[in-house]
Structure 1
Amino acid sequence: MTLRRSILAAAAAAAIALPGAASAQAPSFFRIGTGSAGGTYYPIGGIIANALSCPPGAPCNTAGATDGIPGMVAVAQATQGSVQNVALVQAGNAEAGFAQSDVTHWAYTGTGLFQGRPRTDRLRFVAHLFPEHIHAAVRRDSPIQSFNDLRGRRIAIGLQASGARIGSELILSAYGFQAGRDFTAEYLNQAQGTERMQDRGLDATITVVGYPAAAFTEFCARTGCRFLPIPEAEANRVIERAPFYGRGVIPRTAYEGLTEDVPTLTVSAVLVVRDSLPDDLVYNITRALWSQTTRGLLDRGHAKGREIVRENALNGRGVIPFHPGAERWYREAGILR
């Protein structure tokens, strides 16, 4: 049973068991835009949705229960990723979303790769989640050894409305590559890209995702993989254009068969909400996100969950305003002064 179905089933069970309570309090749904299957946003979104949920009639904030918001059912929605998520939040078609910090900055200010578009000015910051890494994957038996070898190749660069596409285009442009002229772009997510590489229908898949990502875990175990390093000069060209990026590594322990750490670029994944959400709701969402119960869910649920820590809660905000509810919780917790 999927996480979403299990949450909905819990809500339905509560309604059946407690018809009087159900009629008095129908569940309120809280939609979180995440990402596509095979990435990190979707499974982490499922864990956080579970942590925030407490359907009508279910125990809340007690031993053995979540620290969720009474009467609320949070749902992790599969999406194309960051670009779609900020658009969903802006339009009110999702209450919250995961996004790369470069995407939130450019969308909010109408600058960079969002130049000429209306500002996505209803975004409000709740929390930094985890660092994401550029993954440039090829088959282990591929002759491609560096980004320079990608000229003339077929490359999956992420879905159209994803932050992965933006990250892929940034690194390829650092090498002077342009889609249609220097390579053939395929707008696929990492699961679709690795599947095509497995069948030798693609030469490489580039994306921005937190390791370990399920699609690459499966691909490396089944087919064998390598990740292309990003040297210092090219990394600095990307950082000059997009200062939200920093230098990092994909450790050799992240995926089966890697023999050395891979130098690459990193960017923050953040949680944003719409400005119209009530302050008390976002206060309690922030409280639930950083509770000890949620800490256990994150630690047990996904390797990347262990990197979602209070010490980094304010990283990656940039110019995005705090939601007042989140800001109040951080001040009361002594994290924001």
Structure 2
Amino acid sequence: MSAQQQSTRSSIAHRLNLALVAGGLVAGLGIAGAAQAQEDREGWPQSFTVGTASQGGTYFVYGSGWANLIADQLGLSGGGEVTGGPTQNLALVHNNEVAFGLTTMGPASDALSGKSPLAPGIVMDNVCAMFPMYETPFSITALSDSGITSISEIPDGATIGFGPAGSTSDTYFPAILEELGVEFERRNGGWNDLAGQLQDGLIDVIAFAAGIPIPAVSQLEVQTDVNIIEFTEQEQAEAIEAFPVSEFSIPASTYSTLEQDSRVVSMWNFAIAGCDLPDDFVYEATRITMENNDKMRSIHRSAETTVPENIKHNQVIPFHPGAARWYEENGHDIPEDMVHQ
């Protein structure tokens, strides 16, 4: 072998050794990085469930879509679960039967003060707020051929569907209508089921409390003619005086049936988490939600109001420390007494 060949071979070997050393360093860094990532996720669940509500309602669409977004972004297994709605979701989260849930302020206030109809006397203090969702309008739908065009025209003894038992709609809408002088027979069920019963003439009216557009109402519009009934100014004022609701107008663009905005009342919705979930896990879930409003709106357009500025509408549920940390880091102050200790 010539001296030149020996020199070339020596140079190649030297470069190979350098490459192997560098590769080892990279591999070592990769292993260390993976170990660090695993350490950062200490205590995280390998999968999670979001308590939603019945199929055909906004909670199911919103909650299932949100679960898929978080699962995809964090590399976990997660999904939505059909439930009885806000009241049951509070109990499920409190008892660690689901990690996350969706609820409205009225049922949340009852649960945290030990007045939940599902567990009277039990203070559900393992429930923490994560982020604002949207307002739930209380709206009424009847078939056009029923002749019902206003609340006052609902005949005495009419059968009204109020959604799943224990839901926000079932908890508050019957009481609101009683306050407004309506006498009725009560019917419970999932929104899709009740929409079918309305079409078949088995019930007279559906009293919806759900984020808009409500899938079941949109489907009804395709299949038949409906009346979407608004509150009068006096009826709206009476409801606001007696219940934890506020003014709201359903935009005419929400449904093809509406020719103008529809005056109703509403209640805010928030996503909730078990207070004992790891702070970093809830921080990441909150961050993904708050920093991806375009993706949230692609799940359901009611998520237009799923923005950090609307945390002010929660005066009831203490925020999870992980969620509170994200808000504080991004310039949204939360009073100290509204953060779970």
Q: Shorter-chain TM-score: which interval?
A: 0.7 to 0.9
The equivalent position to 2:142 in structure 1, one of 138, 142, 158, is 138
Q: Which moved more, 1:231-240 or 1:128-137?
A: 231-240
Match status 1:31 vs 2:49: yes
Partner in structure 2 of residue 173 of structure 1: 178
Does structure 2 conserve the Cα–Cα contact (< 8 Å) formed by 1:174 and 1:234? no
Residue 116 of structure 1: CA displacement? 4.5
Q: Which whole-Å deviations, capped at 9, do the CAs of 1:43-85 have from their partners, x for residues lacking one?
A: 111221122114xxxxxxxxxxxxx224x22211111211111
1:336 is the counterpart of 2:333: yes
Q: CA deviation at 1:199?
A: 0.9
Paired AA for residue 310 in structure 1 = P
> What is the RMSD of the two structures over their aligned residues, measured on CA atoms?
2.3
| Structure 2 Cα separation of the partners of residues 265 and 173 of structure 1 | 15
Asked if residue 306 in structure 1 is aligned to residue 287 in structure 2, the reply is: no
Q: Does 1:242 find its partner at 2:214?
A: no
Change (3 A) 1:247 1:115: farther
Matched, 1:44 2:48: no
Q: Does 1:126 align with 2:124?
A: no
Which residue in the other structure is 2:166 paired with? Answer: 161
Q: Which residue of 1 aligns with 2:89?
A: 85
**What amino acid sits opposite 1:223 in the alignment?**
T
2:317 aligned residue: 320
Give 2:238's aligned amino acid. R
Does the CA-based 8 Å contact 1:221-1:257 persist in structure 2? Answer: no
How many equivalent residue pairs? 293
The structural deviation recorded for 1:329 is: 1.1
Match of residue 99, structure 2, among 87, 90, 95: 95
Separation in structure 2 between the aligned mates of residue 115 and residue 175 of structure 1, nearest angstrom: 28
Which consecutive unaligned segments of at least 5 residues does structure 2 have?
1-33, 335-341
2:153 is equivalent to residue 149 of structure 1: yes
Q: Is the 8 A contact 2:53 2:86 kept in 1?
A: yes
The residue that corresponds to 1:218 in the other structure is: 219
Q: Provide, for residues 158-190 of structure 1, a one-character-per-residue CA deviation record: whole Å limited to 9, x for no partner.
A: 11121111231232122244xxxx311111232
TM-score after normalising by structure 1: 0.81
- 1:63 is matched with none
Off by >3 Å, runs of 4+ in structure 1: 24-27, 111-117
* Residue identity (%): 27
Helix, strand or coil for the counterpart of 1:265? strand
Match of residue 76 from structure 1: 80
Distance 2:69 2:312 in 1: 22
* Partner Cα separation in structure 1 for residue 301 and residue 238 of structure 2: 30
Q: TM-score, normalised by structure 2?
A: 0.80
* Larger fraction in helix: 2
Q: Secondary structure at the match of 1:53?
A: helix
Q: Which residue of 1 aligns with 2:184?
A: 183
Kept after mapping to 1: 8 A contact 2:115/2:122: no
d(CA) in 2 for partners of 1:30, 1:114: 23
Structure 2 CA distance, aligned partners of 1:209 and 1:332?
Answer: 32
Verify the 8 A CA contact 1:156 1:186 in the aligned structure 2: yes
Pairwise CA distance, 1:194 = 1.4
Where do 5+ consecutive residues of structure 1 fail to align?
1-20, 55-67
Larger radius of gyration: 2
**Distance in 1 between residues matched to 2:71 and 2:86, nearest whole Å:** 23
Q: Does the C-alpha gap of structure 1 residues 256 and 221 become closer, same or farther in structure 2, counting only changes over 3 Å?
A: farther
Shift of 1:112: 8.5
Q: Which amino acid aligns with 1:134?
A: F
1:336 is paired with a residue whose SS is coil
Return 186-195 or 97-106, whichever deviates more.
186-195
Structure 1 CA distance for aligned equivalents of residues 116 and 165 of structure 2:
17
C-alpha displacement of 1:260: 2.4
